[in-house]
Amino acid sequence: MRGRKIDPVTYTAEMKLALEVILKERDPKKSSSQRAALALYREIRKLMPNARAKEVGAEAIWIGREEYPAQDEELAWLRDRAIRKAISVPLAIDREKKVSALVK
């Protein structure tokens, strides 16, 4: 995975709250987790407007690693996987260029 693009000092409260919901729920199919993933996606997009969808996903994982560090390798893998699964829905919409779906 490539390095982070956003300075950890610029993380917003919305990003941190969204990550908290995603990691608490651990189920990307729950509506609260989907709303949190969309909020996280939008906040990252504000800071990285020209980034590709893949870069936004990588940055979401970096934010999770920064905010929720884990010494245990298995817990770190689970954290990364939960974030990746949750952020995959807004990223798929972005890849298909269905901007109207993101505005809802």
pLDDT of residue 52: 81
Rounded to 5°, angle at Cα 34 from 30 and 37: 140
State pLDDT tens for residues 54-72: 888 889 999 999 889 988 9
pLDDT of residue 2: 56
Closest CA to 14 of 67, 58, 52: 67
Rounded to 5°, angle at Cα 19 from 2 and 28: 95
Amino acid at 78: L
> If you search the block for the tokens 């990691």, which residue do you land on?
23
Per-residue confidence in pLDDT tens, the chain, 104 aa: 455 678 788 888 888 899 989 888 877 778 888 888 888 988 998 888 888 888 888 899 999 998 899 889 999 999 999 888 888 877 777 666 654 444 44
Spatial contact of 60 and 47, defined as CB atoms under 8 Å apart: no
**Tokens for 76?**
């770190």
> How far, in whole angstroms, is CA 82 from its chain's centroid?
9
